[in-house]
């Protein structure tokens, strides 16, 4: 995982040079790229090392001031799947999780159970959550407890 930050006035140039997704969107690929804000994106890969991603970014933005940070050790990703997933996420954040409002290809940073998280809509009932590693145990426990709530289906629906 690599965090990219650019100068706000250079975001359009960086976006074009790296084919970065627009606001509240993410792009699959290797690496996948997630919009975090007007001047920052998160690049994730299961196969490429952070150094490779950083090198590619530095080459593409060689004439621009930018910063890349290896977030691999600081960030975890939970993959949530199942028919109760949208309900569970809606219980813990202020984002409209209706399938017509938050669709695959979108991502948003928000607080989920008071933890700053990036929620990524991968498929209809599949979401990735990126969060600081220090909050992983707490949020994992919260998700398990929310899965047992009467409003949701059984925890076995959530993998």
**Predicted local distance difference test score (pLDDT) of residue 152:** 66
pLDDT in tens, 55-96: 999 999 999 999 999 999 999 999 999 999 999 999 999 999
The pair of structure tokens assigned to 115 is 């933890």
Count Cβ neighbours within 10 Å for each residue of 67-103 and write b for 16 or more, e otherwise. ebeebeeebbeeebbbebbbbbbbbbbebebeeeebe
CATH code for the structural domain at 2-70: 3.30.70
Domain with CATH 3.30.70 in the chain: 2-70
Does 28 have pLDDT greater than 60?
yes
Global pTM value: 0.90
Domain with CATH 3.30.1360.120 in the chain: 80-157
- Domain 80-157 has what CATH class? alpha beta
Does 156 have pLDDT greater than 90?
no
Does 15 have pLDDT greater than 50?
yes
């Amino acid at each position: 995982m690599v965090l990219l930050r650019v100068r706000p006035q250079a975001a359009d140039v960086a976006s074009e040079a790296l084919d970065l997704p627009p606001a509240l969107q993410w792009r699959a690929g290797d690496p996948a790229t997630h919009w975090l804000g007007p001047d920052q994106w998160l690049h994730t890969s299961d196969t490429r090392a952070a150094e490779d991603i950083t090198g590619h970014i530095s080459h593409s933005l060689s004439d621009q001031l930018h910063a890349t940070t290896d977030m691999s050790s600081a960030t975890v990703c939970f993959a949530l799947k199942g028919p109760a997933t949208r309900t569970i996420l809606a219980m813990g954040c202020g984002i409209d999780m209706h399938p017509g409002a938050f669709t695959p290809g979108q991502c948003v940073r928000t607080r989920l159970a008071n933890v700053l998280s990036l929620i990524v809509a991968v498929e209809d009932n599949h979401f990735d959550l990126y969060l600081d590693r220090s909050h992983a145990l707490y949020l994992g426990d919260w998700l398990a407890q929310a899965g047992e709530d009467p409003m949701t289906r059984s925890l076995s629906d959530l993998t």
